[in-house]
Amino acid sequence: MHDSTYLTPRLGGKSLAIATVWVAVCLAPTLAIEPFDTSGGFTWAAMTRLGIQLGIAFGLASSLSWLATVLRNRILRVTARILLIAFFASLLHRFGPGDWIQHSIDLAGLLIVQSIYFSHWRIPDWRNPDWSNSGTIEGATAAKGLQYQISDLLALTTGIALLLGLADRFVVPVEGPLYWIVMLGVWLLMPLIAACAARASLAAAQVTTRLHVLSAVWVASLLGVGLWVAEWFVQGIEEMALLYFYLLFFGLFGATVYVFGVAGRSPTTGAVGETALGEPGDATAD
């Protein structure tokens, strides 16, 4: 292991403009694409449309959940994430397969686990430039904070438990084992892709950026191939277009998170250093 330095994303005018444009660019094709129709089978065109829809929607939900860390109030932060889940679940229900509750479960699990991963690996919260204080080690560490507290986790865990209870009544999985395999993949490995993409976007050294990009690509490929193999064994589906869909889905997801992180680098005047043990420090680079 080696010491690395990571920039702290800041929500300034330039980063806000870039993030807003990226959201608009991502949502435009998502809303323009016709609702997914399975009657034509697993065609390459259908898998491309679905991959774009899911990749962009999940990527934006993940990115905006990370951006919500700019809110200092814990209640506002949780509320923002709940609204994100409701909005993107409704969007996917309108334009993709699956019902609203199923998408809500996937998104809620993704955002909960993502926040835990980000906190564990000390990926910096977004900051407002106006909150920058002395620029010392103590000031940088105090402003950073943890993305999650026990109360936040309990609140969202209770919510997802309720959604799981409703799923038994309203969601009918095509295949029980496959349903749980896909859901656990979304919950456990997609947040890992987001964490690698976030680290890649904030790494000060190009070598570190490339290593994290390769890590994100590796995890996305592993998840995509794994779910395709699961489809093969459980449902007997050997379509290569389905493998292409999974790789496109997870690739766009990671790329969206990466772009958001890069947008936050622009107005940054400081950086958060991370040692091999993962302890935050300060490496001011004026």
> If pLDDT is split at 50, 70 and 90, which confidence band does 196 have?
very high
CA angle (89, 265, 15) in 5-degree steps: 60
Q: What is the mean pLDDT of the chain?
A: 76
Range from 26-40, 194-208, 232-246, 261-275 carrying the lowest mean pLDDT: 261-275
Per the model's pLDDT, the better-predicted residue between 49 and 97 turns out to be 49
Rounded to whole angstroms, how far apart are CA atoms 96 and 89? 10
Q: What is the per-residue pLDDT for 117? A: 92
SS3 72: coil
Return the structure tokens found at 201.
Answer: 């976007």
For the chain, the structural domain boundaries read 4-30+41-267
Which tens digits make up the pLDDT trace of 31-75?
Answer: 666 655 555 566 888 788 888 888 989 999 999 999 999 888 888
What pLDDT is attached to residue 171? 52
Pair of tokens at residue 59 = 């990527």
Q: What is the pTM of this model?
A: 0.81
